[in-house]
Every structure is written in C-alpha cells, then in structure tokens.
Amino acid sequence: MPTPNVDVAAILDSLASHEVDYVVIGGFAAELHDVALPPTQDIDITPAAVPENLARLAAALNELGARLRVPDEPTGFAIPGGVTVELLSTMQVLTLVTTAGPLDISMVPQGTEGYPDLRRAQVSIAHGDRVVPVAALEDVIRSKEAAGREKDLKVLPALQAHLDAMRRRES
C-alpha cells in the first residue's frame, strides 16, 4: 500500500463522511487492484464535477487541511480562503498536501472523459473496513498510456500483465 507518509484511511474516511462521489485513479488504483508496483507517493482521485459534489469535496479537503503542493515546500502553500467550489471548478489538476498526506485531484485524467467515463466501469474494492470506488484496471492503463510520462510507461507492462492474468482467471 502507499508509503507510510500517506494516511489512506484518513483521506478515504473524510471523502466518505462528506459523501463525495469520486473514483480512485493512478498508482493507488493499481495498488488496490493488487498490481505488484512500487508504493505510490500519493492518492489520486477523479471527482464528479457537479457543483453539489464539488462543495462536498471542498469540505472534505478543508477538513484535511489541504494546501497546494509545491516543490521544495513540504508543508505546501496555503490556499487563501481555503478550497472552494469556485477553485475546484476552474482546475483540471490540483496537487495537494493534506494532514493525511499528498492527494491529487484530476478532473479529466488523460485518455478519459472524466468521472462519468470512469464511473461506468469502476469496481468496488475493500480497503480496511471501507469499500473504495476504483477505476477499472483497463481505465488505469488507458490513462497511463495517454499520459505517456516515463513513470507511467515504465509500469505499463506490469499493469497489462496483471490485467491479462485477471482475464485468464475469469475465462
């Protein structure tokens, strides 16, 4: 699971207590799918971008003490007025540091059409005593292929091998 500096339970509990509609994406999604990869350094989510949900997400992020994550500033940069619906509505990607660790928000991950697209094939995976909405492994792969970053391309063979093994077991 994620590095020790990420309190996954605290982040997931805050999202749940505020009834945020979201899907876990990225490296943490791969970890929840049990893909053998190095631990992720943060949690990435894609929220439903409707105003009511963004208000719930803003409340969760403020509860977690969210600050903008910037290089060479471990505690991040304070967001004047805190996280608001207006801020979330104008951002495509928001990299944050919270009291529970790093959390990234991606409204429309590369290779996807955002929450409605990811929601269609999402799976529910248990993490501790919580069930977490997680992007389908095919969608994690699709997004990492589209992003094309070196770190994403490096993990694609392991993701694809895991997906192939899952499909063999299902047939």
Rounded average pLDDT over 145-171: 92
Give the DSSP letter string of 52-120.
HHHHHHHHHHHHTT-EEEETTEEEEE--TT-S-HHHHHH-SEEEEEETTEEEEEESS-TTS--HHHHHH
Per-residue pLDDT reduced to its tens digit, 98-111: 999 999 999 999 99
pLDDT confidence of residue 2: 54
What pLDDT digit, counting tens, does each position of 48-71 carry?
Answer: 999 999 999 999 999 999 999 999
Q: Which domains are assigned to the chain?
A: 8-160 (3.30.460.40)
Please state the pTM of the whole predicted model.
0.94
Match 């069930």 to its residue by tokens. 131
Question: pLDDT averaged over the chain?
Answer: 94
Residue 162's nearest CA partner among 170, 2, 110 is 170
Phi, psi (degrees; rounded to nearest 5) at 3 = -55, 155
Nearest Cα to 27, choosing from 11, 53, 3, 51?
3
Q: Which residues sit opposite 98 in a β-bridge?
A: 101
